Structure 1
Amino acid sequence: MDATYIQGSIEQLKTNIFMHVRHRTLLQYTGAPVINENQLFYLLLPFLNGEEWNEHIDKSAITVGIVHASLYEHDKINETNATSKEQQLTVLSGDYYSGRYYEILAHLGNITLIRELSEGIVNRCEHQIKVYESNQNSLEQWFNTISVIQTELIRRFYLVFNFEQYSSLMHTGLLLLQLKKEVRNLQNGHNSSIMKKMIESVSNEEKTLEQLLVEKIDMLQDLLHEYLHSSTLNDELKRYIRHQVECS
């Protein structure tokens, strides 16, 4: 196995997700579903590391990918122009994807997976809602919110299929990658809703939000290297993860 095989596996999972949610009209007006390849990589990490993997687990991974796509569609809604045709179709695309993953889950008949994903969606949405609340959270609380949004559904997937040994690495890796993306956006003046709330949270700090984010990123990079050093991942996966962080 090499980086080409890893990337090919991610692309295949992405293709399988697209196949299950493809709709001509939605594709025309809202574009292809938003798929986070970093999340797909961590969904596949147990498989890539040689864990037992069958068609049922593969379908379940596709389902998690569709859930992510559905939630990302709803995140794209523009409150100031929610009545436009494109915005209405964006809402419908999220609902359509939701219907598709429930259909797959029903066919799988895995009640434990249905329960865990349902609870995971609720937890993720509760954290997403924090962005619209008036109360001010600490920086660490916002880091936790970002982590939940990025990792909660994969954590539930790991739990159902006994892949929990990968959870710490997955949480650290995905939070690190997302914070690096947020720093780039911050530097370019494109602040996400969460970043705007985080700026409010550090308004009385001596350091800027960017400085505090860089400190957190450095800490997470050190932690990730520790996990990689002590993990049972094969060497190619370790190289891929290091390259993933360096190039993000």
Structure 2
Amino acid sequence: MGNIYGGFTDIKEQLYKKLRHPYFIKYIEEPVVDEKKLAFLYSILKSANLHREQIEHYVVTIMLVQIALDTHEKVSSKEETDGSHKRRQLTVLAGDYYSGLYYYLLSMNHDIVLIRALAEGIKEINEHKIMLYQQTYETIEEMLSSVGIIESALLQKTCDHFQVKHVKSTINNIFAIARLQTEYQIFLKKESSPVFTAFQKILSSDDKTKVENVYNESIKKIRSQIDTLMQDDTGIETFFSTLKEAT
């Protein structure tokens, strides 16, 4: 087994090496890597029975897409202050650099089908980000669906491409919960949270208790869906065993 699969730690280090552009590191914050998504991506690819070199290649390239999206999101969510304009411009360029690097790495291997799949994932993420920030939802379910897509579309496209489709819904739900919990902490600090603004708009209420009740009910409902999925598909347990090895 050790000859077939590369260690998660080694592959993670390869990703960080790609991110260490000397100019960007000098002037902007080091990019944040979502280690949970990194571990899930590794587990998806390992579940697809790929060889070490393939796993390393795809983990690095697909995470570059995620990091590019996260880097651009970081710029759009920050207010511009005096002296920050250059930093913002460099952060945008860094996001473009990571995006271009992923495309270059995949095109070198002629992974045209995967490039198209990830492009579709990027399109879906951006469409649902617009919906979230424009608050176009009529129901809580619509908003939660959007959050799941924003947080997991790249992983789901990877599942489709490598025929690991049985974990897609579980991954969607897990990352929807993670985003909701993150947004809840922002809400508690009385900072701007697009998710909780959506809760308030849909409920037509700013009442903190009412909003928190709906948040808690949403978390409970999604967790119940995860439990049902895991009971119905024993293959998901195998996937999570692989995930534990990575983490």
Is 163-172 or 128-137 further displaced after alignment? Answer: 128-137
> Do structure 1's residue 59 and structure 2's residue 63 form an aligned pair?
no
Is 191-200 or 66-75 further displaced after alignment? Answer: 191-200
**2:186 counterpart residue number:** 185
**2:196 counterpart residue number:** 195
Equivalence map 1:26-37=2 (5 Å): 26-37=24-35
Deviation at 1:187, TM superposition (A): 2.2
Letter matched to residue 21 of structure 2: H
Structure 2 unaligned spans of 5+: 2-6
- Equivalent in 223, 230, 234 of residue 231 of structure 1: 234
> CA 1:125/1:236 → structure 2, altered by over 3 Å: closer, same or farther?
closer
- Equivalent in 72, 75, 80 of residue 74 of structure 1: 72
**1:151 counterpart residue number:** 152
Q: Is the 8 A contact 2:152 2:175 kept in 1?
A: yes
Deviation at 1:204, TM superposition (A): 4.4
Q: Which whole-Å CA distance do the structure 2 matches of 1:99 and 1:235 have between them?
A: 31
Deviation at 1:51, TM superposition (A): 4.0
> CA 1:20/1:235 → structure 2, altered by over 3 Å: closer, same or farther?
closer
**2:166 counterpart residue number:** 165
SS in 1 for 2:80: helix
Q: Is the 8 A contact 1:38 1:174 kept in 2?
A: no
Deviation at 1:181, TM superposition (A): 2.1
Q: Is the 8 A contact 2:43 2:242 kept in 1?
A: no
Structure 1 unaligned spans of 5+: 2-7
Give the structure-2-normalised TM-score.
0.82
Deviation at 1:15, TM superposition (A): 2.3
Q: Is the 8 A contact 1:228 1:238 kept in 2?
A: no
Give the structure-1-normalised TM-score.
0.82
**2:37 counterpart residue number:** 39
Deviation at 1:16, TM superposition (A): 2.1
**1:17 counterpart residue number:** 15
> CA 1:151/1:223 → structure 2, altered by over 3 Å: closer, same or farther?
same
Is 28-37 or 51-60 further displaced after alignment? Answer: 51-60
Q: Which whole-Å CA distance do the structure 2 matches of 1:150 and 1:235 have between them?
A: 19
Please give the root-mean-square deviation of Cα atoms over the aligned residues, in Å.
2.8
Letter matched to residue 166 of structure 1: V
**Sequence identity, in percent?**
25
Q: Which whole-Å CA distance do the structure 1 matches of 2:243 and 2:68 have between them?
A: 31
**1:129 counterpart residue number:** 130
**1:211 counterpart residue number:** 213
> CA 1:112/1:24 → structure 2, altered by over 3 Å: closer, same or farther?
same
**1:4 counterpart residue number:** none
Deviation at 1:26, TM superposition (A): 1.0
**1:5 counterpart residue number:** none
Letter matched to residue 43 of structure 2: L
Deviation at 1:238, TM superposition (A): 8.9
SS in 1 for 2:204: coil
